[in-house]
Structure 1
């Protein structure tokens, strides 16, 4: 019963305006990779989903976007919450997911299991939302590519050990490949597939 209560609670208090605001932040974040954004909107998401990840789920997921959840999320009220508030179907197949959410400290397997899109429709790929411990502190990454003048740095605490290797493999697929959003509490930064990363 507690899980059902959590699933039906929360959500944006003003869905149209709040989702528009978060959508603009995500689009701006994708246009300026590595820039930390702060979500002020309260999505009322259940644990262990963070505030930014919850707001992104409510904004980007709908009945046409299958969602994959890592074990910690799928075994909590998060799956029902996303389904109830967005209408998005939950899938166990990574290749079917348009959006995927991974909780902090869980293992990160190959990006190749997710959809990389096709040459004709590269936008039909998975966007992977990864919870980390913190943004603005921790491991320093040097970012370069479209949307970045020369280069910029981003600090991330709790980035999965395999991430940089998987990201390098992902970039070789361009224009195919997945996009990533790193979240920590109310903060997030975007890493479109065009971004080069050196740890």
Structure 2
């Protein structure tokens, strides 16, 4: 694929970036709630609209990115390089963000950067493309930004994602933040969010 054949980035860079930023900030402020990214953006095959918009808004030449096997195509790499300039790294522990198209094969969380006590913000944020953020299991979530509890109904791989994220409680302020993506819909699971229980 040549540069001329690459899918476009944002239709309107400034307004689209601002709109996407608001959606991501709302998702982080209200963990477990579904937010929608409305900004128009192109995306290569295998990259959902929400993932593409987040990449266009957040990534730059100082943002190392790790791609899982399903994301590691030349088209995705070329699109990211052309539109964001973000370096793609092979060592997941060096990444600021990890793009996961096959979350069923998500590596162990300790393969990513967990940050440090001095710089907890230097952890890797995982962006997981999931099957659904409207159908599936019901996950009751608690934590800062949640009034009591909120229920997320979603079809998520790996099925034990929230069990894995429980390690955040012992790591805080270090830890892993997660953004779930289903098409144009996103849900943030910050490191302070806990699973109360899951049920059918």
The interval holding the TM-score normalised by the smaller chain is over 0.9
Contact 1:111 1:170 in 2 (8 A): no
1:29-108 equivalences under 5 Å are 29-104=27-102, 106-108=104-106
**C-alpha separation in 2, matches of 1:182 and 1:38:** 12
**C-alpha separation in 1, matches of 2:102 and 2:41:** 19
In structure 1, stretches of 5+ residues that fail to align are none
Return the offset for 1:79: 1.6
**C-alpha separation in 1, matches of 2:17 and 2:140:** 30
Q: Which residue is equivalent to 1:154? A: 152
Return the offset for 1:10: 1.1
Q: Which residue is equivalent to 1:139? A: 137
State the TM-score, normalized to the length of structure 1. Answer: 0.94
Q: Count residues in correspondence.
A: 197
CA RMSD of aligned residues (A): 1.4
State the TM-score, normalized to the length of structure 2. Answer: 0.93
Runs of 4+ in 1 over 2 A off after TM superposition: 2-6
Structure 1, residues 81-120: CA drift from partner, whole Å, max 9, x if none? 1111011000011111001110045411211111111101
Please, which moves more after superposition, 152-161 or 102-111? 102-111
Return the offset for 1:161: 2.2
SS at match of 1:24: helix
Return the offset for 1:76: 4.5
Contact 1:118 1:124 in 2 (8 A): yes
Return the offset for 1:66: 0.2
Return the offset for 1:41: 1.4
SS at match of 1:140: strand
Q: Which residue is equivalent to 1:112? A: 110
Please, which moves more after superposition, 30-39 or 163-172? 163-172
Contact 1:104 1:158 in 2 (8 A): no
